[in-house]
Amino acid sequence: MFRVVASRMIVPNVHLLTLEAPAVAREAKPGQFVILRACEEGERIPLSLSDWDAEMGTVTVIFLNIGFTTNQLAALEEGKTIPTVVGPLGNATRIEKYGTVLCLGGCYGIGSIFPIARALKAAGNRVFTLLEARSAYLFYWEERFEAISERVIHITRDGTRGYRGHIDRLPEVVKDLGVPIDRIIINGCTFLLKRGSDASRPLGISTWVSLNPIMIDGTGMCGVCRVTVGDATRFACVHGPDFDGHQVNWEELLHRRKAYMVEEEVPFRTSRCNDHGCKA
Ligand code: FES
Tens of pLDDT, residue by residue over 88-133, are 999 999 999 999 999 999 999 999 999 999 999 999 999 999 999 9
Query: Residue with the nearest Cα to atom 4 of ligand 1?
Result: 220
Average pLDDT taken over every residue of the chain: 93
Q: What pLDDT shows up at residue 258?
A: 77
End-to-end CA distance of the chain: 13
Alpha carbon distance 176, 162 (integer Å): 12
Q: Ligand 1 center to residue 35 CA distance, Å?
A: 11
Alpha carbon distance 68, 82 (integer Å): 15
Per-residue pLDDT averaged across 16-45, rounded?
Answer: 96
Start and end residues for every CATH 3.40.50.80 domain found in the chain: 100-257
Q: Ligand 1 center to residue 150 CA distance, Å?
A: 37
275 confidence band (pLDDT: 50, 70, 90): very low
Per-residue pLDDT averaged across 233-241, rounded?
Answer: 97
221 touches ligand 1 (CB under 6 Å) = yes
* CB distance 242 to 208 below 8 Å: yes
The answer on pLDDT for 278 being more than 50 is no
99 touches ligand 1 (CB under 6 Å) = no
The architecture (CATH level 2) of 100-257 comes to: 3-Layer(aba) Sandwich (3.40)
Q: Ligand 1 center to residue 124 CA distance, Å?
A: 34
Q: What pLDDT shows up at residue 264?
A: 67
5 confidence band (pLDDT: 50, 70, 90): very high
216 touches ligand 1 (CB under 6 Å) = yes
Nearest atom in ligand 1 to 224's CA: 1
220 touches ligand 1 (CB under 6 Å) = yes
CATH 2.20.28.120 fits 2-90, yes or no: no
Tens of pLDDT, residue by residue over 186-223, are 999 999 999 999 999 999 999 999 999 999 999 999 99
Start and end residues for every CATH 2.40.30.10 domain found in the chain: 2-90
The set of residues, in sequence order, having a beta carbon less than 8 Å from that of 98 and lying 6+ positions away, is: 120, 125, 182, 183
Q: What pLDDT shows up at residue 37?
A: 94
Q: What pLDDT shows up at residue 274?
A: 46
150 confidence band (pLDDT: 50, 70, 90): very high
218 touches ligand 1 (CB under 6 Å) = yes
257 confidence band (pLDDT: 50, 70, 90): confident
Q: What pLDDT shows up at residue 66?
A: 86
Best substitution site from 91, 222, 257 to test ligand 1's pocket, by max atoms within 8 Å of Cβ?
A: 222
Best substitution site from 32, 219, 233, 257 to test ligand 1's pocket, by max atoms within 8 Å of Cβ?
A: 219
Q: What pLDDT shows up at residue 266?
A: 62
Per-residue pLDDT averaged across 265-270, rounded?
Answer: 53
Q: Between 250-257 and 190-200, two packed helices, what is the crossing angle to 10 degrees?
A: 170
DSSP string spanning the chain? -EEEEEEEEEETTEEEEEEE-HHHHHH--TT-EEEEESSTTPPPEEEEEEEEETTTTEEEEEEE--SHHHHHHHTPPTT-EESEEEEEESPPP-----SEEEEEEETTHHHHHHHHHHHHHHTT-EEEEEEEESSGGG---HHHHHHH-SEEEEEETTSSSSEES-GGGHHHHHHHHTS---EEEEES-HHHHHHHHHHHGGGT--EEEE-----SSSSSSS-TTEEEETTEEEEHHHH-SEEETTTB-HHHHHHHHTTTHHHHT--GGG-HHHHTT---
